[in-house]
């Protein structure tokens, strides 16, 4: 299992393809991608919907600021089966 604990895009990079590239790279090795996004972050929600994510669960008061969130899921197609088992904590670099 791979885990990205936090992915944030600085305001300066908003509207670029940075987050799209990150999700596309994860899609090549991960059979499932799960993330949470604040309801008020309509830009991120629209991006993830356009990438094929679906709403899985409503998370009331999920964030420390009291903000609600959606858990979103994506099941990429054509993900190859792993050829080797990776140890926990292994860093995988995408070229």
pLDDT band at 94 (very low <50, low <70, confident <90, very high): very low
Residue 88 lies in a domain: no
pLDDT score of 26 = 82
The tens digit of pLDDT for each residue in 45-55 reads 998 898 899 99
Residue 4 lies in a domain: no
Residue 16 sits at the vertex; the CA angle it makes with 46 and 11, to the nearest 5 degrees, is 85
* Structural domain that includes position 55: 31-78
Residue 66 lies in a domain: yes
Residue 62 lies in a domain: yes
Q: What SS3 state is found at 4?
A: coil
Tell if the pTM clears 0.85, that is, is over it.
no
Q: How many domains does the chain have?
A: 1
């Amino acid at each position: 299992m791979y885990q990205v604990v936090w992915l944030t895009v600085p305001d300066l990079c908003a509207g670029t393809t940075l987050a799209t590239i990150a999700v596309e790279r994860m899609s090549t090795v991960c059979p499932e991608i799960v993330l949470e996004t604040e309801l008020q972050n309509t830009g991120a929600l629209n991006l993830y919907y356009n990438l094929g994510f679906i709403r899985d669960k409503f998370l009331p008061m999920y964030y420390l600021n009291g903000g609600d969130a959606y858990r979103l899921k994506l099941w990429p197609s054509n993900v190859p089966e792993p050829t080797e088992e990776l140890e926990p904590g292994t860093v995988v670099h995408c070229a």
